[in-house]
Amino acid sequence: MKRRTFLQALQVGVASAMLFNGKSHGMDLTSLIDRTSADKELAYHRIQEIKFSTVKLNYPRLVGKNARLDLHGYGPTVEICCIITDKGAMGWASLRGSKRDAEKIVNELIGKKVSEVFATHIGTLQERYIPFDMALHDLAGIILQKPVYALLGKEKPLITDYYSGMIYFDDLEPADKPAGIDRILEECRYDYGVGYRQFKLKIGRGHKWMPFEEGLRRDIEVTKAVNEAFPDCEILVDGNNGFSADQFIAYLKGISGTKLFWIEEPFHETVADYQKLRHYIREEGIETLLADGEADPDQQFLKELIQQKLLDVHLTDIEGLGFTNWRRLMPELQKLGAQASPHAWGSLLKTNYTAHLAGGLGNTVTIEGVTSSSDDVDLSGYTIRKGKLIPPSTPGFGMPLLKKI
């Protein structure tokens, strides 16, 4: 094995093991790097300035409740950072974590070569710089004139399915005159027009917002209605931990004959509950994927569920885990026979970051869509074709800022 190949394999193995031990990437990987020509090009640039701002993203409609949370609103205001080099290159992205935490380390980064904090085949090199993880990937792509997926190894991106993650309990709104199931079907028609061919339906109305039996009936009615109205589409369901195992099995009995692409977070993950659910779907001959890991993820426990074949899809948030950590985790998931679909709800920026992760590394079963427009960001480079999301071939993440920072 060539020295470079050996070192790359070593750092991926060490780092992915640390992820699943709950230690994130809390070591300096600089000593493991065998520098590439791309990294040498990054070394010509020093970080001169870091600016903070926000961008506003707008949903096409009010997004309502899920099993646990009240109205989600019309779109977020996202905190971002811009990293500018002495050669005039600028990369930007949403922050991982808070602006307050990021501001504490700005002075450490000023004056550093980009190659001192980022390597093309690894990502961000030190845990303490992870608030700038996304922006460093964008900056490296800008300097090297490559899309981020190409930094990850693919000249042409791997393309995967794309689902609408915006179908909440909007049948319950407005509170004084609920719209009913017709509202859900109307939203699915809109999303179908956007280009989605997968719909993720929020379920669990009986956990908080309706008496349980009434809520269960509504969950079942909504699922069946969408399945009937859109026979060429796939349905995913997300319980947001709003069921017990027995309650969720009651839901499955109620939708008998309706095919589900996946089941997401039906209850808070335990070995016993997932064993019960897995046993039921096997006994009934139900073909579906089990997906979890969004809410308060315990990476070691998620690994145990995957090893026991109780979990098929790893869902930890693309920003919550960090882009660099996802780069390290993906080979470990492949080794374990699991797939990925990083959680991206809330921000279309996260959706687009995931498109590059999937485009460069594959092993992503589908991508969460959060349809949005913005006066602050040019989002037009991303296209939807036959229910799949295609990232642009322009440098970095391919989302030029329209807002002056």
Domain assignment present for residue 401? The answer is no
223/370 same-domain check: yes
Domain assignment present for residue 402? The answer is no
Count of domains observed in the chain: 2
Domain assignment present for residue 398? The answer is no
CATH number, domain containing residue 100: 3.30.390.10
Question: What pLDDT does 10 receive?
Answer: 34
Neighbours of 62 (CB within 10 A): 14
* Residue range(s) defining the domain that contains residue 73: 3-145
Can you read off the two tokens belonging to residue 103?
A: 């501001």
Neighbours of 357 (CB within 10 A): 24
178/111 same-domain check: no
331/237 same-domain check: yes
Q: What's the rounded mean pLDDT across residues 186-213?
A: 98
Euclidean distance between CA atoms 402 and 389, whole angstroms: 22
The model's confidence at residue 17, banded by pLDDT at 50, 70 and 90, is very low
180/139 same-domain check: no
DSSP 182-238: HHHHHHHHHHHHHT--EEEEE--HHHHTS-HHHHHHHHHHHHHHHHHH-TTSEEEEE
pLDDT tens-digit profile of 338-364?
999 999 999 999 999 999 999 999 999
Q: What's the rounded mean pLDDT across residues 101-124?
A: 96
Domain assignment present for residue 395? The answer is no
Contacts of 43 (CB under 8 A, 6+ apart): 113, 114, 115, 116
Q: What's the rounded mean pLDDT across residues 399-405?
A: 96
Q: Is residue 370 pLDDT above 80, yes or no? A: yes
250/333 same-domain check: yes
pTM: 0.92
Domain assignment present for residue 120? The answer is yes
The alpha carbon of 37 is separated from its chain's Cα centroid by a whole number of angstroms, namely: 30
Last residue in a domain, options 145, 179, 204: 145
Last residue in a domain, options 112, 145, 178: 145
179/54 same-domain check: no
Euclidean distance between CA atoms 329 and 23, whole angstroms: 12
Domain assignment present for residue 152? The answer is no
pLDDT tens-digit profile of 209-263?
999 999 999 999 999 999 999 999 999 999 999 999 999 999 999 999 999 999 9
Spell 311-335 as b/e; 16+ CB within 10 A means b: bbbbbbbbbbbbbbbbbbbbbbbee
Euclidean distance between CA atoms 82 and 66, whole angstroms: 33
Secondary structure percentages of the chain, helix, strand, coil, to 5: 40, 20, 40
Q: What angle do CA 349, 332, 296 make, to 5 degrees?
A: 55
343/216 same-domain check: yes
- For 256, counting Cβ atoms within 10 Å of its Cβ (0-12 exposed, 13-18 middle, 19+ buried), the class is exposed
Q: What's the rounded mean pLDDT across residues 167-178?
A: 97
CATH number, domain containing residue 217: 3.20.20.120
Euclidean distance between CA atoms 204 and 218, whole angstroms: 9
Domain assignment present for residue 37? The answer is yes
134/168 same-domain check: no
